[in-house]
Amino acid sequence: MMHERFRGRQVRPVVGGGGFNGGEPPDEGGTEGRLRALERNVAVIKANIVTKADVAELRADINKAILECSRWNHTSVVAMFGAFVLGVIGLLVAIWNVDKPQAPATVTHGSAPVVIQVPAAPAPLSAVSVGLDE
């Protein structure tokens, strides 16, 4: 029984002995060129294919980068924590010292003042002393 949409169509016989009777398939003139293009494409695919070694190398590079970033991240966290602790200690010391009375500055009147001797300015040179009026 034939399907409804094929009813009324002509059946074309197989040309060139193809099919299941043992003959060669028809060559429409482009098979060799298409086969060469297909072989070139397969060669390009084989040249660019990723191997297990490539994946393992990429995985090692990614793990190395992650470890390096983690090391920097941990170092930054430790440094920030240290700065926070030092800031809190400084604040506590400042608060603790606010309540302590400050000792008044003592001035001793018995010591002599410090005197600095400055030499006198030299006299200007005159034309007579140099001997330029001749």
pTM here?
0.35
pLDDT in tens, 57-85: 999 999 999 999 888 899 999 999 999 99
The end-to-end CA distance of the chain, in Å, is 146
Cβ atoms 26, 18 nearer than 8 A: yes
**pLDDT band at residue 41, thresholds of 50, 70 and 90?**
very high
Gap between the Cα atoms of 129 and 86, Å rounded: 70
Share the mean pLDDT of the chain.
79
- Whether 128 shows a pLDDT value over 80: the answer reads no
Distance CA 21, CA 64 (A): 63
The torsion of the CA quartet 15, 18, 22, 27, rounded to 10 degrees, works out to 110
Tell me the mean pLDDT in the region 75-99: 93
Q: Which pLDDT score is estimated for 104?
A: 74
